[in-house]
A = this chain, B = another copy of it.
C-alpha cells in the first residue's frame, strides 16, 4: 500500500469511528432518548463534533491529500483509493474555511434544535422555535459566505452540496417545467370528481401497523439482520455502515397510508445503503452518492412499485387480514384508487405523486428568498401559507400543518428539498429504462422483487460514492438527467 495512503487511513478510520458515534447519538436522540437528556448530551455532541472536525480537517490530512492527488502517487492507488482521495479532497475544500469552534457550535445547536422543533410542532408554536431557526439560518449564511467565490449566490453553494452541478439556474428551469405541466394536470384531475378514501381514516392499531410494516419492509428486501425499524416523530433512514442501516416511521392510528408508504420509502433508501459494496464499508465513499440519487431509490420503491396494482395484488389479502374490521368493505381497486388519489393536502410526506413537487417548489422558493435576504425568519409562516394558497389552492389552518411539518431546517439542511424533486425525476428515468429490460409488472405480480433489487444494486448501490448521479444515469440509460421522463410519467398516469 502507498505509504501516504496508509497514513491517511488512520485518519479515515478515526473519522469513521467518530462519525458512527455521532450518528448513534443522533439516532438515539430522535428515537429513544428521554426528554431531559439532550441538555447534557448536546454538550457531548459538541465535543465529539469538534474531534470529528479536527480529525478530518487538519494540516496533515491536507498535506497527505495533496500528495496523493499528484499523478505519480495516483498511479499506485487502486480505484477505491482514488475515489476516496478525490472525495476527501473535495469535502475538505468545503469545510476547511469554516473555523472549528463555529462548526462545533453549529453541531450543538442543531442537536438541541431537533427537540425544540419537535415540541414546537406538537404545540403548534412557531414562536418558540423561531429564535433557534433564525440562528441556524444566520450560521448557514455565514458558512456559505465563507465558501462563496466572487459573485456566487449563497443558495447555489448549498444546492451543490446535495446534488453536484445543480444551481438555481437549472432548478428554476426544472420547476418551471413542473409548474407548466403539473398545475393544469391537477386542475383536470380535480374536475373529474372525488375518489372516496375515507377508509384510510378508520382505526388502525399501532401494533398491527407495526406488524404489517415489518412484513412490508422485508417484502421489498429490507434485511433485518442488517437493519432496524423504529419509531420517531418524522420518518428517516440512518446508516452506520452497510451492515447496520436503520429506518423509522410514525404510526398514526387514524391514517394507514402514512406508515405504509413511509416504510416503503425509507426501505428504498435503506436498500441503497445495504447494497453498497463491502469493499467500501466505513470509508468516505461507503454510502449513497447524492441526495437526489438517494431519493430516486426511495421514490422508485414508494411510487413506481409501491403504488401499483401489481405490487398490491399478491399482498392485498395479508393487509385485509391484518385489519379485518377497518378494511372489510374495501376492495383492492378502491385501495389502489385511494393510494393514487391526487388531491392537494398540507403535508408533504403524505402528499400524492402529482402534488408532491409543488410542495417542494414552495420550499425551494422560500429557501431561495432566505439566502437572497429577501425575507425575515419571523415572516416565514406567512409566506409559506401564501405559497400554499397560490400553488395548491389551500391555506394551512395552523403552522403544525404548515411550516412546522418538516425536520430539515432544524438540522440546518437548506438546499436539501430540491433533491427530492430531482429524485422523482431520476426515478422516472430509471423506471422508463428498466421497464424495457425486465417485465416489472409481471415480477411484482409474482412477488419477485429480486431482479429489480439486483439491477439497482449492481448498477447503482454497490458503487457508493465512487460514481456521480449523472455518470450512472449515462451508463444505465445513455443520457444524463432528463426531466421529461418525469413529466411524461405524471401526464400518462394522471391524464387517464
* Contact A24 B13, CB 8 Å, known A34-B224, A34-B227: no
**Which residues from chain B contact A43 at a C-beta distance below 8 Å?**
13, 17, 282
Q: Which of B21, B33, B228 contacts A33 (CB 8 A)?
A: B228
Nearest B residue to A245 via CB reads B34
Bound complex: CA of A429 vs CA of B43, how far in Å?
A: 39
Bound complex: CA of A348 vs CA of B37, how far in Å?
A: 33
Q: Tell me how far the C-beta of A45 lies from the nearest C-beta in chain B, rounded to whole angstroms.
A: 8
Nearest B residue to A48 via CB reads B17
Q: Tell me how far the C-beta of A249 lies from the nearest C-beta in chain B, rounded to whole angstroms.
A: 15
Q: Is the CB of A244 within 8 A of B41?
A: yes
Q: Is the CB of B282 within 8 A of A36?
A: no
* Contact A243 B24, CB 8 Å, known A14-B51, A47-B14: no
Q: Tell me how far the C-beta of A109 lies from the nearest C-beta in chain B, rounded to whole angstroms.
A: 17
Copies of this chain held together in the complex: 2
Q: Is the CB of A28 within 8 A of B34?
A: no
Q: Is the CB of B28 within 8 A of A44?
A: no
Query: Is residue A25 within 8 Å, beta carbon to beta carbon, of the partner chain?
Result: yes
Chain A residues with CB under 8 Å of chain B are: 13-14, 16-18, 20-22, 24-25, 28, 32-37, 39-41, 43-44, 47-48, 51, 207, 224-228, 230, 240-241, 243-244, 281-282
Given contacts A17-B44, A34-B226, A40-B241, 16 further A-B pairs with CB under 8 A are A13-B47, A17-B43, A17-B48, A20-B25, A20-B41, A28-B28, A34-B228, A34-B243, A35-B225, A36-B225, A36-B244, A37-B226, A37-B244, A39-B243, A41-B240, A41-B241
Question: Nearest 6 A-B pairs (CB), nearest first?
Answer: A37-B244, A21-B21, A17-B47, A36-B243, A17-B44, A35-B225
